[in-house]
Structure 1
Amino acid sequence: MTSLRTVGSTRKFSTLRAIGALVMREMSSSYGKTPGGYLWAVLEPVGGIIMLTLIFSLAFRSPPMGTNFAIFYATGVVPFMLYNDIASKIAQALGYSRQLLVYPSVTFFDAIIARFVTNMIAQLLVVYIVFFGIVTVFDTRTDPDLPKIALSISMAATFGLGVGMMNCFLFNYMPIWQKAWAIINRPLFIISCVIFLFDSIPQPYRDYLWYNPLVHVVGQMRAGFYPSYHADYVSLSYVFGVSLTLIAVSLALLLRYHRDLLDQM
């Protein structure tokens, strides 16, 4: 019994050590050893928010909600890009860490968790800088509700992990899916209600868009900044249900086929 506990403890320590090493490697290679890499991670969403703010402020006198264009579009762009960054990075986890996965002490799950942790740290930094900057510079007339904002971030991260893990399997098992996914993914920014309110969509299209989990993520984020916006359509059980189903199915597939996928690379 004691020996089994010792083996279990050793394995847990080995897993944590492997994940820690992979996180450090990921930070160094993805963002560099200077602040410039992290600066680009911040500038990308900021650039998108500035562009949307300039375009729509010229065309309209006020945003679809509130009085400030920057904060309205930030509540859509930031959670969307958090999801997109995590999903795209997780999808490449096997290929990125392929050389290290030949070692018995490093598993594909270690590689996935390391990428998730690294990019969540970067994205949380982006969330803080973008929203703090906008609220400090502008009179946004919003009342940030941290628990609601944190819930939206959790929804985006979990869904990104689920989509990323499923694509991690599909991209390698069926390479043509990567091209198909790129085509399918193109209108996602529009149909996720990033630049408009879900409530303004006429029926029956509103019912169709409801099945996009990112609509719920964006709606929850906006409810976190605008006290008068209740976002009754947001379903936590739907978003987390879809996300956890994707994680469970993709994990089962990767457990079964990850060795075959690595041999094909």
Structure 2
Amino acid sequence: MSATRSFGDLGRSLTVQGRVIYALILREMQSRFGRSNIGYLWALVEPLLLVGVFTLGYVAIGRRSPPQGMEFLPFLATSIIAYLSMRNIASRMSSAIESNRSLLLFPQVTPFDLMLGRLLLETATFIAVFVVIIGGGVILGFASPPDRPFLLLVTVIYTALLGAGIGMLLGAITMNFPWVDHFMRPTWRLMLWISGIFFTLKQLPMSVQDILVWNPILHVIELMRAAYFAQVEPYRVSYGYVNWWILITTFMGLLCERMFRDRRKEK
């Protein structure tokens, strides 16, 4: 009887927590996209604009096609969507606690729920934008279907988890040090140019490779292209390295959040 009762209590707790997460996601959708469809449209327009800008840049410098026989749309779209989604996941999760502090007055809502709600919404947006842009390119004849769809899905999940780990760590730090958020804005702009969005690691001199290979965002972008194109093999990048970043940032984020929460209670 006790085991049955325990399972019943666990089921009720999970049901309540699921409803809390669902309510938080609906709330985040309104704040993220607004009540009109324009907000949802911008999620598509932003990566499309960047794809167009970088395509014009390639043409302007005399390059007619990306390296290793890759097609333009998947070459740029995979990297741009991955970068924007990771940035959005990390930024939105890092501000989840501070911008929704009033919700923590409800006993059912925890800081982890706030971050999880934003993670699920941004990941769903990431996947939807990816499918629409790549799928549209395939239908219109601008791209071929991915050669390794399952591996591509795995890499999409890695991208979301990396953004989540970075976001949890930044969110815990900015609880006590709000100025970190201002420091991250130019950092994300820098990452746009050094994360392999418009180039591949093989194209760079070895001395530059030795520096940029420490960047985990470059790893997921290179791995995503390798998953999309059969002729592209991972070069100096690995899922294992991204794994370590995900584990370390998530652990440090949870640890710092607990430490800073206790310090605030003492104050």
TM-score w.r.t. structure 1 length? 0.91
The 10-residue stretch of structure 1 (60-69 or 96-105) with the greater mean CA deviation from structure 2: 60-69
Partner residue of 1:114 out of 117, 120, 123: 117
Closer, same or farther in 2 for the Cα pair 1:53/1:263, shift >3 Å? farther
Q: Matches of 2:88 and 2:120 in 1, distance apart?
A: 12
Deviations 1:132-190 (A, max 9, x none): 12222244356442112112211210110000001101112112222222233331111
Closer, same or farther in 2 for the Cα pair 1:5/1:61, shift >3 Å? closer
Deviations 1:11-35 (A, max 9, x none): 3222212111101111122123333
Shift of 1:112: 0.7
TM-score w.r.t. structure 2 length? 0.90
Closer, same or farther in 2 for the Cα pair 1:256/1:15, shift >3 Å? farther
Alignment of 1:72-111 (within 5 A): 72-111=75-114
Alignment of 1:87-236 (within 5 A): 87-140=90-143, 143-236=146-239
Percent identity, please.
25
Say whether residues 1:56 and 2:58 are aligned partners: yes
- Counterpart of 1:153 in structure 2: which amino acid? V
For the 8 Å contact 2:50–2:80, the answer to whether it is kept is yes
SS at match of 1:106: coil
SS at match of 2:104: coil
Partner residue of 2:37 out of 31, 35, 38: 35
SS at match of 2:197: coil
Q: Matches of 1:195 and 1:263 in 2, distance apart?
A: 49
Runs of 5+ consecutive residues of structure 1 not aligned to the other structure: none
Alignment of 1:246-257 (within 5 A): 246-257=249-260
Q: Matches of 1:259 and 1:22 in 2, distance apart?
A: 24
Matched positions, count:
264
Shift of 1:211: 1.1
SS at match of 2:236: coil
Runs of 5+ consecutive residues of structure 2 not aligned to the other structure: none
Say whether residues 1:23 and 2:42 are aligned partners: no
The 10-residue stretch of structure 1 (69-78 or 156-165) with the greater mean CA deviation from structure 2: 69-78
- Counterpart of 1:64 in structure 2: which amino acid? P
Q: Matches of 1:22 and 1:57 in 2, distance apart?
A: 44
Q: Matches of 2:143 and 2:118 in 1, distance apart?
A: 34
The 10-residue stretch of structure 1 (189-198 or 255-264) with the greater mean CA deviation from structure 2: 255-264
Q: Matches of 1:263 and 1:219 in 2, distance apart?
A: 45
For the 8 Å contact 2:70–2:229, the answer to whether it is kept is no
Shift of 1:45: 0.5
Shift of 1:36: 2.1
Shift of 1:231: 1.3
Closer, same or farther in 2 for the Cα pair 1:142/1:7, shift >3 Å? closer
Shift of 1:6: 4.5
For the 8 Å contact 1:79–1:218, the answer to whether it is kept is yes
Q: Matches of 2:43 and 2:92 in 1, distance apart?
A: 13
Deviations 1:28-52 (A, max 9, x none): 2212333322111111101110111
- Counterpart of 1:26 in structure 2: which amino acid? E
Shift of 1:7: 4.0
For the 8 Å contact 1:64–1:197, the answer to whether it is kept is no
For the 8 Å contact 1:172–1:261, the answer to whether it is kept is no
For the 8 Å contact 1:171–1:178, the answer to whether it is kept is yes
